Amino acid sequence: NTPVANQSTNKIWKLMEKYLPNTKEAIQSSVVNHVEYTLAKTRFDFTLLHCYQAVSHSVRDRLIEAFNDTYQYFNNKDVKYVYYLSLEYLIGRCLQNALVNLELEGQYKEAMLDMGYNLESVYEQEVDPALGNGGLGRLAACFLDSMATLNYPAWGYGLRYSYGIFRQQIKDGYQVEVPDYWLDRGNPWEIERLDVNFQIKFYGSVTKKVEDGKERTIWEGSEIIVARAYDNPVPGYNTFNTINLRLWRSLPSSEFDFKSFNQGDYFKALESRQRAEFITSVLYPNDSTYAGKELRLKQQYLLVSATIQDAIRRFKKKRKEWKEWPKYNALQLNDTHPALAIVELMRILTDIEGLEYEEAWELVYNSFAYTNHTILPEALEKWGVDLLGNLLPRHLEIIYNINHIFLEKISRKYPNDWRKLSALSLVEEGTHKTIRMANLSIVGSHAVNGVAALHSQLLTSTLFKDFYELRPTKFQNKTNGVTPRRWIRCANPGLSALLNDVVGSDDWILDMDILKNFQKIADDPAIQNRWMQVKRQNKEKLYWWVKERCGVDLNIDSLFDIQVKRIHEYKRQLMNILYVIRRYLDIKKTPAEERRKLFVPRSIMFGGKAAPGYITAKRIIRLVNAVSQKVNNDQEIGDLLKVVFLPNYNVSNAQVIIPASELSQHISTAGLEASGTSNMKFVMNGCLIIGTMDGANVEIAEEVGEENMFIFGARVEQVEEQRNKMRNSNYRDYFGPRLTEVCDAISNDLFGYKYDLEALLDTIRNKNDYYILGADFESYCEAQQRVDNLYRNKSEWTKKSILNSLRSGKFSSDRTIRQYAEEIWDLEPCEIPNPSKSEKER
């Protein structure tokens, strides 16, 4: 007499409707439960790491509640979704961010303290998931935070690399890359979806069949793998909405196995399984350069194919007609890396769903949009037709087809204009025929945007000029932004508390623009004092960070001068370090008793990774370390000048570095930095910028006032003129005596490492100085002099620091995301009801 189970009472679902309470006791009991039952730990082998894991699991439980409710609600409301497609997400640590956004940090702090743990040291146990290179990947992460916070129905889609960007070590002054196996302690944040798998095909052949008088195209892949979903909840701030970042992992497909096993070669079959897993193993460590490797193309296609299949599955559940696709779906391409999504959707709609070509194109065109992140020619993706046609034969056919129809339209509009035709073509002819992914992205999208006003203007006047003339309304600007949750509230608790007091609430976290109403405080000596105290505490934190990792004792009262970003010639870290040498030589020439009068003590810090194959960038790191060695050990110099290379710059280190900085450098050659986003983070944190009129610096100057920045150097319109000047003269003539002396000092082996450093100097002495360091150097030195002069006046400096912060509202990613939603995605927010106000208990 076994009891009969009765599902009709729905008891299981009713029980699940209860939410975890957020009292101290409830938090403690959920943490303890995870210690005991999830981690299976006892008091005898329990470490701080386990504490972190248990806390994270208990926070994840809360995220899952919100996350499930959110998508169920979206689904019921039949909303339009935006799909954000990106090969990179630099999300950074999750624990503090989740607690802040769930507004539970205070409760957890108290609950943990009561059990004998300091929440701050628990935070430090977390690995920093670094599934991105730099600006582009971090932007995607800030966007997710804003999409969740503003209640937009959104999905992030990306890849779950086993190895993120390498960890950077400095050995003997050189960069050494160490693999970043970030999953080795597990990942408490993700939810593995064993039941969400999609088949991905590669290679094979295309055949045509006639069925009922209609031609059908069939692509039979010869390598089949599986993409499995790993979900990462992204909580919004001050809302119950929690959205999903779905990352795909490649796995072998069992269907494919049977074939090989039956052929009897066991080891060969296992090898091919490992090859499948390898696809999402490692993030390509190139920032702003295109590598052209087949494995990278496989990564791109895997992301694209799995995502489109997932989106289609979701759409089909709605039982709408295909023509409603754009009404329910917006797809945003984070650069051209996922551009094959355009082709994949075309393929599925025509080959599998049986839509007519024109019908399908209409749906694709109206749902896709593309963001460009750089105009550097070396970053433009161009896949060889041999490689693409071999890996994805049907996709190449479709690309040719798109191009054919597109070019026919063009030649009707501009008969016999061969220049235009070849500039617009998706195909670049030549000995090595390639597909231009940017052209594909533009042709397949209804909106194309740059990431700062200047950048968007340059796109339409240079790189994409012909496309712009064809359809000017397609081109837009969406100036980048950063999330104040992570970059002020989490990274700078001292400043957050101060702003709370100034505003009288924490409303600024959701509406940074209100800070503008409080500008009068900039002159208030009491506020200035508190402002300086906050900065000093942040500087102390960085002081200890540097002491521990670099063994350098900084003077906390010195000016903290920082340049942190990927190492690249166009970002001109070389110009910065050459100026440091200039300063060093000048101090040495000055009689000892006058030095303190003439020079403000400075701690100049550099940080950033060089792509492993980028020799010049690596030599810049070598030079910084050589100078650091010499200067820091020069007894005559003392604390007047310190130079440090901060190793392994990443998101969590940035959260320590940025709030502590007083001056930050954004000194790219005008026209080459699309936007920059750390410039925005520095400004929010009350740091003054020394920079060129490039990228978003231009708009920062508009907002905070040029008088509150140190602007120098050639403007975009002058760069080419400067290059021409230098092309026709000896470097000694256009460098001027001050820069020449610096170069000579290096050549005379003042810092050692002559072989590396001479080669580095040659990039500006004998190779036409493409990034015009020589032309901008004098004006840079003058700007640096203005920095020293202002720093002597603490009150004036602090006033400017306050104004920078209070006027930075435009650079919240909330503003950016609202513009995307309204001007590109046509997307409405959808906030889920607060469960504490429903019958559900809290």
- Footprint on this chain of ligand 475 (rule: CB under 6 A): 133-136, 139, 286-288, 373-374, 379, 451, 480, 673-677, 695
565 is known as an active-site residue: yes
Q: Which residue is nearest to ligand 475 (CB)?
A: 135
Tokens 């119950």 identify what position? Answer: 240
Catalytic residue among 62, 138, 455, 571: 571
Nearest approach in angstroms of CB 293 to ligand 475 is: 12
Nearest approach in angstroms of CB 138 to ligand 475 is: 7
Q: Which residues sit opposite 145 in a β-bridge?
A: none
- Is residue 580 within 8 A of residue 627, CB to CB? The reply is yes
CB neighbours of 213 closer than 8 A, spacing ≥ 6? none
Residues recorded for the chain: 842
The token pair that represents 805 in the structure block: 């912060």
Within a 13 Å sphere around the CA of 318, how many CA atoms are in the beta-carbon half?
21
Closer to ligand 475 by CB, 493 or 695: give it. 695
Catalytic residue among 80, 167, 566, 572: 566
Query: 188, 179, 177: which is closest to 52 by C-alpha?
Result: 188
Distance CA 505, CA 385 (A): 58
Type of residue at 163? Y
Closer to ligand 475 by CB, 86 or 175: give it. 86
- Which helix or strand (DSSP H or E) is residue 178 part of? strand 174-178
The token pair that represents 757 in the structure block: 């450093």
Cα four-point dihedral sign 246, 252, 254, 256: positive
571 is known as an active-site residue: yes
566 is known as an active-site residue: yes
The token pair that represents 277 in the structure block: 């897993």
Closer to ligand 475 by CB, 284 or 531: give it. 284
Cβ-in-10-Å burial (0-12, 13-18, 19+) of 692 comes to buried
Q: Which residues sit opposite 674 in a β-bridge?
A: none
Closer to ligand 475 by CB, 664 or 798: give it. 664
- Is residue 537 within 8 A of residue 494, CB to CB? The reply is yes
Catalytic residue among 242, 374, 677, 816: 677
Q: Which residues sit opposite 428 in a β-bridge?
A: 434
Closer to ligand 475 by CB, 753 or 771: give it. 771
Closer to ligand 475 by CB, 695 or 713: give it. 695
Distance CA 140, CA 334 (A): 8
| Eight-state DSSP code of residue 648 | S
Nearest approach in angstroms of CB 206 to ligand 475 is: 29
Nearest approach in angstroms of CB 451 to ligand 475 is: 4
Nearest approach in angstroms of CB 478 to ligand 475 is: 9
Catalytic residue among 273, 474, 681, 810: 681
Distance CA 189, CA 187 (A): 6
Cβ-in-10-Å burial (0-12, 13-18, 19+) of 322 comes to middle
373 is known as an active-site residue: yes
Closer to ligand 475 by CB, 665 or 675: give it. 675
- Is residue 602 within 8 A of residue 641, CB to CB? The reply is yes
Nearest approach in angstroms of CB 685 to ligand 475 is: 17
42 is known as an active-site residue: no
Closer to ligand 475 by CB, 299 or 801: give it. 299
The token pair that represents 604 in the structure block: 């100049």
Nearest approach in angstroms of CB 691 to ligand 475 is: 12
Catalytic residue among 60, 565, 622, 800: 565
Nearest approach in angstroms of CB 342 to ligand 475 is: 18
Q: Which residues are catalytic?
A: 373, 565-566, 571, 677, 681
